[in-house]
Chains A and B, each alone.
Chain A
Amino acid sequence: MDFLVMEMLVATGVGAMAGAGVYLVLRARTYSVILGLALLGYAANTFLFASGRLSVGLAPVISDDALAYPDPLPQALVLTAIVIGFAMIAFAVVLMLRAHADLGTDHVDGPGGAGR
Chain B
Amino acid sequence: MTLLLIVLLPLVGALLPAWFIRWGRNQSALAAGVVTGTAFALLLSLSSSVFAGEVPRADWTWMSSIGLSLAFMADGLGYLFAFLILGIGLLVVLYARYYLSEKDPMGRFYAYLLLFMGAMLGVVLADNLIVLLVFWELTSLTSFLLIGYWKHLPEGRQGARMALVVTGGGGLAMLAGFILLGNIAGTYQLSEILQMGEVIQAHDLYAPMLVLVLIGAFTKSAQFPFHFWLPHAMAAPTPVSAYLHSATMVKAGVFLLARLFPALSGTELWFFLVTGAGAATLLFAAYVALTKHDLKGLLAYSTVSHLGMITVLFGIGTAAAAVVGIFHIMNHAAFKASLFMNAGIVDHETGTRDIRRLSGLWAAMPITGVLAIIAAAAMAGVPLFNGFLSKEMFFEQAWALEYQFVEGVPWLLPAIVTLAALFSVAYSIRLVWSVFFGPQAEDLPKPPHDPPFGMLLPVGILAALCIVVGIVPVLVAGPMLAVAATATIGIAPPEYSLTLWHGFNIPLLMTALAFVGGIVAYWKRWAIIGLHEGPLPFPEAKRIFDGTIDRLAAFSHGTTAALENGSLQRYLALLVGAAVVAMGWPFLTGSWSAGPGPGTPLDGMSLVVWAILVGAAVATAALHRRRILALVVVSVVGLMLALAFVHLSAPDLALTQLSVEVVTVVLLLLALHLLPKEGPSEDSIGRKARDVGLAVAAGCAVTAMAWVILTNPVDTISGFHLAESYPGGGGTNVVNVILVDFRGFDTFGEIIVLAIAGLGIYAMIDALGVPDRWKIGSPDDEVRYPLLLTVITRLLLPLALLVSMYLFLRGHNQPGGGFIAGLVTAVALILQYVASGIGWTTDRFVRDYHGAIALGVLAAGATGLGAWLFGYPFLTGWFDYFELPIIGEFELASAVLFDIGVYLTVVAGVLLMLVNMGKIRNASAAAPDAADGEG
Contact = CB atoms under 8 A, between A and B. Distances in A.
- In-complex A–B contact (CB below 8 Å): yes
Interface of A: 1-2, 4-20, 22-29, 31-32, 34-35, 38-39, 42-43, 45-47, 49-63, 69-73, 75-80, 82-91, 93-98, 100-102, 104, 106, 108-109, 113-114, 116
B531 interface: no
Contacts of A69: 722, 734
29 contacts: A1-B597, A7-B600, A9-B610, A13-B610, A17-B613, A19-B617, A19-B696, A29-B679, A31-B672, A49-B648, A54-B598, A56-B600, A60-B733, A69-B734, A71-B714, A72-B721, A72-B725, A73-B718, A77-B746, A79-B652, A80-B739, A80-B750, A86-B663, A87-B754, A87-B758, A90-B761, A93-B668, A94-B917, A100-B675
B917 A13 contact: no
B794 to A, nearest CB: 27
A13 B649 CA distance: 17
Contact of B618 (A16, A47, A50, A88): A16
Nearest to A17: B617
Interface in B707-725: 707, 709-711, 714, 716-718, 721-722, 725
B46 interface: no
Given A72-B738, A76-B739, A91-B757, A42 B638 contact: yes
A7 B732 CA distance: 28
B702 A43 contact: yes
Contacts of A106: 675-676
Contacts of B614: 12-13, 16
A16 B771 contact: no
A15 B572 contact: no
Interface string B907-935: 00100010001001000000000000000
B674 A73 contact: no
B573 interface: yes
Contacts of B683: 27-28
B710 A59 contact: no
Contacts of A85: 660
B730 to A, nearest CB: 11
Nearest to A70: B649
A70 B627 CA distance: 38
B622 to A, nearest CB: 9
Contacts of B756: 87
Contacts of B680: 29
Contact of A82 (B599, B613, B656): B656
B858 interface: no
A35 B699 contact: no
Interface of B: 565-570, 572-573, 576, 594, 596-602, 606-607, 610, 613-614, 617-618, 620-621, 624-625, 627, 630-631, 634, 637-638, 641, 644-645, 647-653, 656-657, 660, 663-664, 667-668, 671-672, 674-676, 679-680, 682-683, 691-692, 694-696, 698-707, 709-711, 714, 716-718, 721-722, 725-726, 732-735, 738-739, 743, 746-747, 750, 753-754, 756-758, 760-761, 764-765, 768, 771-774, 813-815, 819, 906, 909, 913, 917, 920
A71 to B, nearest CB: 5
Contacts of A51: 709, 714
A54 B667 CA distance: 32
A70 B691 CA distance: 37
Nearest to A32: B624
B618 A109 contact: no
A100 B667 CA distance: 16
A70 B772 CA distance: 53
B754 A93 contact: no
B142 to A, nearest CB: 46
A31 B631 CA distance: 10
A78 to B, nearest CB: 6
Given A6-B606, A82-B656, A87-B757, A15 B703 contact: yes
B815 A20 contact: no
Nearest to A46: B641
Contacts of B813: 61
A116 B702 contact: no
A25 B676 CA distance: 19
Contacts of A8: 707
B675 A4 contact: no
Contact of A61 (B572, B716, B733): B733
A73 B637 contact: no
A82 B638 CA distance: 11
B722 to A, nearest CB: 6
Contacts, number: 318
- Which 7 A-B pairs give the minimum distances between C-beta atoms? A19-B699, A15-B703, A23-B695, A87-B757, A116-B567, A101-B771, A6-B600
Contacts of B568: 108-109, 113
B613 A7 contact: no
Nearest to A115: B682
Contacts of B651: 60
Main secondary structure of the interface of A (DSSP, over half): helix
Contact of B567 (A4, A39, A47, A113): A113
Contact of A20 (B618, B644, B750, B814): B618
A54 B25 CA distance: 83
A111 B679 CA distance: 16
A83 B656 contact: yes
Given A50-B709, A94-B764, 18 more contacts: A6-B601, A10-B706, A11-B706, A18-B699, A38-B664, A43-B702, A47-B706, A49-B645, A54-B598, A60-B649, A61-B814, A82-B656, A82-B660, A87-B753, A87-B757, A93-B668, A100-B675, A109-B568
B237 to A, nearest CB: 51
Contacts of A94: 671, 760-761, 764-765, 913, 917
B599 to A, nearest CB: 5
Contact of A26 (B565, B606, B694, B702): B694
B765 A98 contact: yes
Given A13-B613, A25-B572, A38-B664, A72 B718 contact: yes
Nearest to A14: B706
A45 B699 CA distance: 15
Contacts of B703: 11-12, 14-15, 18
B721 A73 contact: yes
Nearest to B712: A53
A10 to B, nearest CB: 6
Given A23-B691, A26-B569, A101-B771, A55 B664 contact: no
A63 B732 contact: yes
Contacts of B569: 26-28, 108-109, 116
Contacts of B734: 60-62, 69, 72
Q: Looking at A9, A32, A58, A63, which has the most chain B CB atoms within 10 Å of its CB? A: A9
Contacts of A61: 732-734, 813-815
A2 B313 CA distance: 78
A4 B143 CA distance: 72
A75 B716 contact: no
Given A11-B703, A17-B617, A97-B671, A5 B600 contact: yes
A64 B710 CA distance: 28
A83 B657 contact: no
Nearest to A8: B707
A2 B596 CA distance: 9
A79 B736 CA distance: 10
Given A15-B700, A70-B648, A54 B600 contact: yes
Contacts of A17: 613, 617, 637
B706 A89 contact: no
